[in-house]
Amino acid sequence: MDNKRKTVLHWGLGGGAAILLSLVLTDPYLRSVLTLMAISALLAASLRFVMLMGELNFALAAFAGLGAYAAGYMNTALSVPFVLALPLAGLFTAVASALFGAITLRAKGPYFLLIGFTFTEAVRVVYSKIPALGGTSGMIGIYPPLSLDDWMAGIVVATSVILLLGLFAAERSDFGRILLAIRENENVARSVGVNTYLCKVIAMSCACFVAGVAGGLHAFVNTVISPGDFSYLLAAFALAYVKVGGENYFLGPIVGAVVLVALSHYAIGLGGSEHFLYGGAIIVAVLLMPSGILGAFGKVGPRSVETKVRAARHAV
Amino acid sequence: MRSETSPLLKVEGLCRNFGGLMAVDTLDFDVHAGEIFGLIGPNGAGKSTTFNVISGFLPPSGGSVRFRGEVLPGGKAAAASRAGLVRTFQHGSYVRSMSVGDNIRLGTVSGTPRPERAGRVREVAALLGLSDKLGETAGTLPHGLQRLVSIAIAIAAQPKLLCLDEPLTGLNETEVGTVLKVLDGYRRAGDRAILLVEHNMKAVMTVCDRILVLHHGTFLATGTPTEIRGNDDVIHAYLGQAHAK
């Protein structure tokens, strides 16, 4: 009970501070950076959720794209209001990813990763061939209601906090334990009656719901989307956020996203290419901080399920 | 010990081949509620393959596995487990990075209602002497305790037939004593049975009610421990004179 209360307190303070920050920031540039951090953190947390069961979901970019295009199409062509378009985009993505997962999650490791990669690139070609989705030049005019315009940063951060809380609760539940068991010793899970295949599909679908909403938020924040926004690089960046922040920590992808997005904006200011910084940060993280920033600077924040995952994995 | 009612597990004409190799050849045996049934034989005799087929981790090439009167679908491990047939593995069936408590809880996720899971974890931990280890990471425990965690996970799933694949390997005398006591208690519940693959002959002869001996994938002998110890074929193929009576 004591631990539970502590967790609620941490979430209240952390989430509240982030939302407050998004509301008090007046500089539009800083607000846009904060928004990008929140969306990036969502994508990275989605990627990490699938990593809990030992798979790298490189189809992340495709599903973020599906969410963005679904939200954009609903908003521009079907006049679905913003507050409905966002969750519907998430649901659409969740269903699409469940179908994708049901077909592809028989494959594992590098095979699953490669399927995700090719799916991402194939879906991009599909967008560019459909005139209703704007073809190669993309979709424009995806506006949130004018009355919400000033509150968009707050809405993005608050939505992110809620979705992250959902992923956190799932990770800490018995479902999270099953995912970890699937990663490390799938036979154990099967031997106690768990349908591991179904669990993988559900995990994939939950993670992609989050990615879909993140894509929808991106569409409404940017007001313009194009196939180029959703290349496999998006998944590669998300992986960088997870690794740099600390894969073994729930807060890892959030810290990674905040640090790397801040770093990339700093680099743009210097006139340099942020991609060098991403690459550099990943190399530094892998060489000097194999457990990421959180791993290097102690036990900050809630850890993933009583971990030592890395140590245990190497000890096998 | 042995009930005269219909058997809990009935294996009929079970075959499993890997290409040209016949790992298990036309095997028949029954396991009744209330008994500990030993499956022994030299390395390569087909014990693990038999285990894998019975527990649904491998589909059979022929024959059937009937459990509580129903034919189990071949190759469906989770279904076999939900029907009440739960197994452990030779090389540790636990999750290294998770705490002992979380590991045992895994055993409860598909058959125990959520509010009862925590209590079930404490109960099983107490049974195996793991109560003071619940918060420790399983991967950091000594080998013997890790074996106990594997057994605890399986017991937490409340199986009607508990299939243990070499559970005593690497355990010290005290730990062997603990496990044998637990197995004996489990059998005494009456409606449950244990299928045991084990090389520790002293333990097998002590705890088993009946034993089946496999050799080159086929039936060699079956009977009580006393009968098995006195069987010339078994002495010749597996036991040697040391365990013979």
- What integer is the mean pLDDT of A104-131? 91
**Model pLDDT, residue B173:** 86
B88 contacts chain A (CB < 8 A): yes
Q: Using CB atoms, pick whichever of A188, A305, A315 lies closest to residue B93.
A: A188
Label residue A59 by pLDDT band (50, 70, 90): very high
pLDDT at residue A302 is higher than 50: no
Query: Where are chain A's structural domains?
Result: 2-226
- What integer is the mean pLDDT of A163-184? 94
Whether the CB-CB separation of A245 and A262 falls below 8 Å is answered with: no
Q: Roughly how many angstroms between the first and final C-alpha of chain B, as a whole number?
A: 23
Query: Nearest-CA distance from B152 to chain A in Å?
Result: 11
pLDDT at residue A285 is higher than 80: no
pLDDT at residue A64 is higher than 90: yes
**Model pLDDT, residue A9:** 85
Radius of gyration (C-alpha) of chain A in whole angstroms: 19
User: Which string of DSSP letters, residue by residue, matches A282-303?
Assistant: HHHHHHH-TTHHHHHT---SPB
Label residue A39 by pLDDT band (50, 70, 90): very high
Whether the CB-CB separation of B235 and B225 falls below 8 Å is answered with: no
Closest residue, chain B, to A309 (C-alpha): B97
Label residue A4 by pLDDT band (50, 70, 90): confident
pTM, 2 dp:
0.87
pLDDT at residue B54 is higher than 60: yes
Whether the CB-CB separation of B108 and B101 falls below 8 Å is answered with: no
Give the ranges where B157-224 is alpha helix by DSSP (H): 173-188, 201-207
pLDDT at residue B196 is higher than 50: yes
pLDDT at residue B217 is higher than 70: yes
Whether the CB-CB separation of B93 and A188 falls below 8 Å is answered with: yes
Label residue A310 by pLDDT band (50, 70, 90): very low
Label residue A313 by pLDDT band (50, 70, 90): very low
pLDDT at residue A61 is higher than 70: yes
**Model pLDDT, residue A115:** 94
B90 contacts chain A (CB < 8 A): no
Binary contact (B106, A313; C-beta < 8 A): no
- What the block records as the tokens of A144 is 């949130």
Query: Nearest-CA distance from B101 to chain A in Å?
Result: 10
pLDDT at residue B172 is higher than 70: yes
**Model pLDDT, residue B4:** 53
Label residue A298 by pLDDT band (50, 70, 90): low
Label residue A305 by pLDDT band (50, 70, 90): very low
**Model pLDDT, residue B185:** 86
Total residues belonging to chain A: 316
- What the block records as the tokens of A22 is 């998004």
According to DSSP, residue B137 is labeled: B
- What integer is the mean pLDDT of A199-214? 96
- What integer is the mean pLDDT of B100-118? 92
- Rounded Cα distance, B71 and A306, in Å: 40
For chain A, the average pLDDT equals 87
Whether the CB-CB separation of A224 and A74 falls below 8 Å is answered with: no
**Model pLDDT, residue B59:** 92
Whether the CB-CB separation of B36 and B197 falls below 8 Å is answered with: no
pLDDT at residue A316 is higher than 70: no
**Model pLDDT, residue B144:** 84
- Rounded Cα distance, B143 and B159, in Å: 24
Q: Using CB atoms, pick whichever of B99, B110, B137 lies closest to residue A192.
A: B110
Cβ-Cβ contacts under 8 Å between A and B: the total is: 102
Contacts of A204 (CB under 8 A, 6+ apart): A50, A57, A97, A98, A100, A101, A105
Which helix (H) or strand (E) segment is B102 a member of?
Answer: helix B100-106
pLDDT at residue A93 is higher than 90: yes
- Rounded Cα distance, B131 and A205, in Å: 37
Whether the CB-CB separation of A197 and A112 falls below 8 Å is answered with: no
Contacts of A116 (CB under 8 A, 6+ apart): A56, A57, A58, A59, A60, A62, A104, A235
Label residue A22 by pLDDT band (50, 70, 90): confident
Whether the CB-CB separation of B219 and B27 falls below 8 Å is answered with: yes
Binary contact (A312, B96; C-beta < 8 A): yes
- Rounded Cα distance, B165 and A188, in Å: 13
Helix, strand, or coil (residue B129)? coil
Label residue A299 by pLDDT band (50, 70, 90): low
- Rounded Cα distance, B145 and B103, in Å: 13
- Rounded Cα distance, B92 and B74, in Å: 23
A189 contacts chain B (CB < 8 A): yes
SS3 of A241-269: the string is HHHHHCCCECCHHHHHHHHHHHHHHHHHH
Closest residue, chain B, to A188 (C-alpha): B93
According to DSSP, residue A225 is labeled: B
* Amino acid of residue B63: G
Binary contact (A178, B106; C-beta < 8 A): yes
Window from A36-45, A122-131, A137-146, B175-184 with minimum mean pLDDT: A137-146
A311 contacts chain B (CB < 8 A): yes
Q: Which residues of A touch B105 (CB under 8 A)?
A: 174, 177
pLDDT at residue A312 is higher than 70: no
A313 contacts chain B (CB < 8 A): yes
B89 contacts chain A (CB < 8 A): yes
Label residue B242 by pLDDT band (50, 70, 90): low
Percent of chain B exceeding pLDDT 70 equals: 96
**Cα dihedral value B130, B133, B137, B139, nearest 10:** -50
- What integer is the mean pLDDT of A66-74? 94
- Rounded Cα distance, B169 and A176, in Å: 31
Residues forming beta bridges with residue B215, ordered by sequence position:
B218
**Model pLDDT, residue A133:** 84
- Rounded Cα distance, A90 and B26, in Å: 53
User: Which string of DSSP letters, residue by residue, matches A87-149?
Assistant: HHHHHHHHHHHHHHHHHHTTS-HHHHHHHHHHHHHHHHHHHHH-GGGTGGG-B------GGGG
Q: Roughly how many angstroms between the first and final C-alpha of chain A, as a whole number?
A: 34
- What integer is the mean pLDDT of A39-66? 95
Q: Identify which of A14, A140, A119 has the alpha carbon closest to the alpha carbon of residue A57.
A: A119
For chain B, the average pLDDT equals 87
Binary contact (A193, B89; C-beta < 8 A): no
- Rounded Cα distance, A58 and A67, in Å: 15
Label residue A308 by pLDDT band (50, 70, 90): very low
Binary contact (B106, A181; C-beta < 8 A): yes
Number of Cβ within a 10 Å radius of residue B28: 13
